[in-house]
Every structure is written in C-alpha cells, then in structure tokens.
C-alpha cells in the first residue's frame, strides 16, 4: 500500500463498535456509532462500521445482505449511502437475545471474552480481507480494546505498517476484566500479561487497559471527563496513572443526531414545535400524561428521566428524597431498565404516588421521544457521566435539564441561576441528595416564572449539539495520529 496522504485522498476509517443504532443498542455508544460515522462521511471520509450481527437484528428489515463479503462479513445493501455497515456473523457467539447481558439471567454472558476477542480478531481479518486498507481503525470501549494490540503485533506486515489506531473511551467504568485464562485465549495478548504489564490489571486480564496502552491515540467524549479520568482514581476506576503516563487525553464532545431528535419534525410526537411555537409542547405534555396514566396539570412541571438503571446514573441520590420530590408541585416520569433492585424500588414507589409518579420499566425508543418533548424538566444526577446524550436531547426539546456538574453534563449545561443571561438548565456539584434537592427546588420554582422560563428554554433550544464541529475535530485527530509515530510497547 502506498503511504497514505490524507491531504489528497479521503481518509479511510474502520469504525469498530459493539453496538450501533438502529441495529443494536444498550446506550449512548450505539447513537454515537451511527451518528459520528455519518458525520465523518459528510466530511469526506470513507467510513466503514464493523459490529456484531446479534440474533435480534432483523436482516430483512435492514436489507442486510447475506452474501458474504469475505468469510463471515455481511453488510447493508450495496445501495446504502456512506457509511457502510458491516456485520460480523458468528452465530454461536452473537445469535443471542442480548448484547452483553443475558436477559433471562440478568448476568453478563459468561463467554463475553470469547465474543469480543472474536470481534477484535474480525476487525483485523476485515482489514486484510476487504482489500480496503484503512488509514485509521477507530476503536470504542473495552469490547474493541484488543484491536490496537493486534495491530501493534501486525506491524511487521508491510501492508499494515501505516495503519494507526484511535481508542475512544466512552465509559472507563466498564473495563472488560476476565480471568488470566482469557489472556491465553486472546493469542498475542498473553505475552503482555504479567504483573503491572499492559494487559494486566489487579490480576485480571483487562481489555480496556490493552486499548489504553496499545492505541496510537486516545481520546474521550468530553473535556471535563478527560480531566476527571486523568486526575481521579475514583472516576477512572483506578486507571488514572495509566492515562497520565500516556500524556494529555483530549475530550471531543459528542453530538446528537439532530435529524432524529428534532422537535420540529419528530414523527413520534402528536404535536411538533420549535422555539417560536412552544405552546404546542403543551399538547405533547398532555399526551405524555395520558399515555402513562398521570393526571395532566398545566401548572406543575413534569420531570422526566430516561436512563439505564445503573449506579452511574445517580439513582442513589433520588431514592432517599423521592417523597420530598413528589411533595413539591411536580410529577415524575421514569423510563428505564437495568438493575432489578432499582426496577422494583421505583415500580413499588409508583403504587404509593399514583398521581405523582409513573414508571415504565423497559426500553422504548418511541416513548423516549414523547418524554423528551412532553416533560418540562429532565433529571440526570449522575455520579459520573463521560458525555451523556439525554441532557442534549432535552435541551433541543425545550425540556430543561437538572444535572450534576460532572463530565459532559458540566460541559453542556449552564446553570440558569449562576448564568442569568445564558443559562440552559440547572446544575449542582456535591454528590448528595441535599445538593440535588436544592437544584430540583430551584428548577421547580423557575417553572412558575413564565417569562424567565421561556427565556431559559429558548437558550437551551438555541444550543448547537449537531455533530458538525466534533466530526471536524475527529478528522483533525485522525490526521495528527497518522502523522505521528506508532506506539511501540516492548
């Protein structure tokens, strides 16, 4: 292969991810894996996305070609515009109803190491087999952590010498830790498995650490989270020293898909609106209340929550003061699934407050649009948040976020009391129920100050959360990665 000259030819990017919307999704990574490649393609990149073909993906609906491109890869139809999606077919590993977790037992699949070793191996196979050599292999989270290692081990091959890897940290809390035997299964990884070595972490084999150590470049999804994971052992889950040793980690803020999340043209809404027609939002609030069985009351705010029910999201702050929140003039709507304990806790609480609290356990994309549009406030008191998408979606729908100022939440929400002119929501610092309550009270109070409320809504709706800017920053990062020396680990 000739040496890439990204100034003159399109950058070829292989984007490897364990989930991609609308095919598969457990959280924000899936949104990003769809929207960022599309934005990169719009910047002129030649992007291919590689992800597993899970059992629940409807091949027919998506026109996924069962004609194999090479061995085990299939892709969306040849007519599909850039970027192209390729799927790794491997039925014993991926033809299952869950992405990471077995829905029947609520536990991680016990062979997740095999499954994602297979994805990483497949990425290498793809590069060799597709007769399309990428300039950059863009890896995302622990499931793809071995790709940079395999690439490092393949540098002896002339055809792969110029390929560089970027590893994006979407959530450092998920580390892909497995017993030492996984290092043997992972082939070349085993030689780096020794105490404090590049794939060993507290006696375990860590897919994430492999990615952090071997990638030619690293970044994460917001500037504040970048600083937090480099300085806090708690937020980095013990990997801060590894990150510091690699030098400064950049944070490129995620965007949202502004075509899918557009209050002025959202097919899931009974009434569409923009910042000039906010009265129509009231129709969506009415529909939301009717749909979830809450009495509609124009004069009190509905607070929405859409979330994985996981420790990260701060439910431990909400649980002890739930009664206090519901004693305010406010109603709460929660859509989420995950931790069975939290599912039970909120379902039972809803029985005690039928007029104030409505809970829907499950995953429901359509209903999530109605919550974004119909709610007045959106609560996201995360313990940590690499970026967070729901606060941005909320702002676009004039639904004011109440957030803990951490990670991407700190970078995207301006507190309306500290920033009277430019405020877009409400935020608090201390990770305590009291600090959260104080912010919730301020938000609920502001709801009654009509002209001020409208002003904050308009500020929020005027924010630009599209991918345009961030996609350009990824292109710059790819270019910098290509022009620097590859990472070498002895």
Q: Using CB under 6 A as the criterion, which residues of the chain lie in contact with ligand ADP when the complex forms?
A: 27-29, 31, 306-308, 335-337, 363-365, 368, 387-390
Residue 111 binds which of ligand GLC, ligand ADP, none (CB < 5-8 A, kind-dependent) = none
Using alpha carbons, select from 357, 271, 368, 286 the residue that is nearest to residue 319: 357
Pairing mode of beta strands 12-16, 46-52: parallel
> Which CB, 74 or 222, lies closer to ligand ADP?
222
Residue 371 binds which of ligand GLC, ligand ADP, none (CB < 5-8 A, kind-dependent) = none
> Which CB, 307 or 424, lies closer to ligand GLC?
307
Residue 417 binds which of ligand GLC, ligand ADP, none (CB < 5-8 A, kind-dependent) = none
Tell me which of 14, 16, 20, 29 binds ligand GLC, using CB under 6 A: 29
Tell me which of 89, 240, 385, 415 binds ligand GLC, using CB under 6 A: 385
> Which CB, 374 or 408, lies closer to ligand GLC?
408
Three-state DSSP class for residue 252: coil
- Tokens at residue 14, please? 């292989």
Tell me which of 98, 255, 386, 401 binds ligand GLC, using CB under 6 A: 386
Query: C-beta of 99: minimal distance to ligand ADP in Å?
Result: 12
- Tokens at residue 296, please? 């509609």
Residue 314 sits in the site that holds ligand GLC (CB under 6 A) = no
Residue 281 sits in the site that holds ligand GLC (CB under 6 A) = no
- Give the integer Cα–Cα distance in Å for 150 and 392: 36
> Which CB, 269 or 393, lies closer to ligand GLC?
393
Query: C-beta of 295: minimal distance to ligand ADP in Å?
Result: 23
Tell me which of 176, 263, 304, 388 binds ligand GLC, using CB under 6 A: 388
Of the candidate spans 26-34, 96-104, 124-132, 143-151, the one that interacts with ligand GLC by CB under 6 A turns out to be 26-34
Q: Which residue is nearest to ligand GLC (CB)?
A: 28
- Give the integer Cα–Cα distance in Å for 173 and 123: 24
Q: Which residue is nearest to ligand ADP (CB)?
A: 28
Pairing mode of beta strands 357-361, 331-338: parallel
Residue 335 binds which of ligand ADP, ligand GLC, none (CB < 5-8 A, kind-dependent) = ligand ADP
DSSP secondary structure string, 306-351? EEEESGGGTHHHHGGGHHHHHHSS-EEEEEEEE-HHHHHHHHHHHH
- Give the integer Cα–Cα distance in Å for 383 and 404: 8
- Beta bridge partner(s), residue 166: 138, 217
Pairing mode of beta strands 250-251, 302-309: unpaired
DSSP secondary structure string, 389-410? SHHHHHHHTT-EEEEESSHHHH
Instruction: Label residue 303 exposed, middle or buried (CB < 10 Å: 0-12, 13-18, 19+).
Output: buried
Residue 387 sits in the site that holds ligand GLC (CB under 6 A) = yes
Contact positions with ligand GLC (CB under 6 A) in 205-224: 221
Residue 221 binds which of ligand ADP, ligand GLC, none (CB < 5-8 A, kind-dependent) = ligand GLC
Q: How many residues bind ligand GLC (CB under 6 A)?
A: 14
> What would the x/- binding string for ligand GLC be over residues 31 to 60, using CB under 6 A?
-x----------------------------
177-178, strands of its sheet edge to edge: 177-178, 204-206, 200-201
Residue 363 binds which of ligand GLC, ligand ADP, none (CB < 5-8 A, kind-dependent) = ligand ADP
- Give the integer Cα–Cα distance in Å for 209 and 311: 22
- Tokens at residue 455, please? 């002003």
User: Are 188 and 223 spatial neighbours (Cβ–Cβ below 8 Å)?
Assistant: no
User: Are 425 and 415 spatial neighbours (Cβ–Cβ below 8 Å)?
Assistant: yes
Q: Which residues lie below 8 Å from residue 277, measured CB to CB, with a gap of 6+?
A: none
Using alpha carbons, select from 338, 301, 270, 330 the residue that is nearest to residue 450: 301
> Which CB, 74 or 236, lies closer to ligand ADP?
236
- Give the integer Cα–Cα distance in Å for 199 and 149: 9
Residue 27 sits in the site that holds ligand GLC (CB under 6 A) = yes
Contact positions with ligand GLC (CB under 6 A) in 165-204: 170-171
Residue 226 sits in the site that holds ligand GLC (CB under 6 A) = no
Residue 307 binds which of ligand GLC, ligand ADP, none (CB < 5-8 A, kind-dependent) = ligand ADP
Residue 390 binds which of ligand ADP, ligand GLC, none (CB < 5-8 A, kind-dependent) = ligand ADP
User: Are 238 and 269 spatial neighbours (Cβ–Cβ below 8 Å)?
Assistant: no
Tell me which of 74, 165, 254, 394 binds ligand GLC, using CB under 6 A: 254
Pairing mode of beta strands 84-88, 73-76: antiparallel
Chain-centroid distance of CA 171 in Å reads 8
Query: C-beta of 482: minimal distance to ligand GLC in Å?
Result: 23
The residues of the shown chain that bind ligand GLC, judged by CB under 6 A, are: 27-29, 32, 170-171, 221, 254, 385-389, 408
């Amino acid at each position: 292969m000739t040496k890439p000259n990204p100034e003159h030819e399109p950058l070829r990017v292989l984007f490897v991810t364990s989930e991609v919307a609308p095919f598969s999704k457990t959280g924000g990574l899936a949104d990003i894996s769809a929207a960022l490649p599309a934005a990169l393609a719009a910047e002129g990149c030649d992007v291919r996305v590689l992800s597993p073909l899970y059992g629940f993906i409807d091949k027919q609906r998506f026109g996924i070609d069962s004609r194999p491109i090479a061995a085990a890869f299939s892709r969306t139809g040849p007519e599909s515009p850039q970027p192209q999606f390729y799927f790794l077919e491997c039925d014993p590993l991926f033809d299952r109803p869950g992405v990471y977790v077995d829905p029947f037992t609520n536990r991680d699949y016990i062979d997740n190491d095999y499954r994602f070793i297979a994805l990483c191996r497949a990425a290498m196979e793809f590069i060799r087999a597709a007769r399309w050599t990428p300039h950059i292999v863009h890896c995302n989270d622990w499931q793809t952590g071995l790709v940079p290692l395999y690439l490092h081990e393949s540098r002896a091959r002339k055809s792969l010498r110029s390929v560089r890897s970027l590893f994006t940290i979407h959530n450092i809390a998920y580390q892909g830790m497995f017993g030492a035997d996984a290092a043997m299964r992972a082939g070349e990884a085993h030689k780096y498995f020794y105490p404090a070595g590049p794939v060993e972490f507290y006696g375990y084999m860590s897919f994430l650490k492999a990615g952090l150590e071997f990638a030619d470049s690293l970044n994460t999804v917001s500037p504040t989270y970048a600083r937090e994971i480099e300085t806090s052992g708690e937020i980095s889950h013990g990997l801060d020293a590894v990150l510091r040793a690699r030098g400064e980690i950049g944070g490129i803020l995620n965007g949202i898909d502004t075509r899918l999340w557009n209050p002025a043209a959202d097919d899931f809404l009974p009434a569409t609106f923009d910042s000039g027609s906010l009265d129509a939002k009231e129709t969506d609030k009415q529909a939301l209340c009717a749909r979830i069985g809450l009495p509609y009351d124009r004069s009190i705010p509905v607070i929405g929550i859409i979330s994985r029910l996981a420790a990260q999201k701060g439910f431990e702050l909400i649980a002890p003061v739930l009664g206090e929140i519901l004693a305010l003039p406010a109603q709460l709507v929660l859509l989420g699934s995950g931790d069975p304990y939290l599912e039970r806790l909120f379902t039972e609480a809803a029985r005690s407050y039928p007029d104030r609290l409505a809970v829907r356990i499950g995953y429901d994309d359509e209903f999530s649009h109605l919550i974004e549009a119909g709610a007045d406030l959106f609560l996201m008191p995360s313990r940590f948040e690499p970026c967070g998408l729901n606060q941005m979606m909320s702002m676009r729908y004039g639904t004011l976020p109440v957030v803990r100022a951490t990670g991407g939440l700190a970078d995207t929400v301006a507190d309306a009391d500290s920033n009277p002119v430019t405020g877009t929501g409400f935020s608090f610092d201390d990770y305590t129920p009291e600090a959260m309550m104080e912010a919730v009270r301020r938000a609920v109070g502001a709801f009654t100050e009509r002209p001020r409320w409208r002003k904050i809504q308009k500020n929020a709706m005027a924010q630009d959360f599209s991918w345009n800017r961030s996609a350009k920053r990824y292109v710059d990062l790819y270019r910098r990665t290509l022009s620097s020396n590859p990472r070498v680990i002895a």
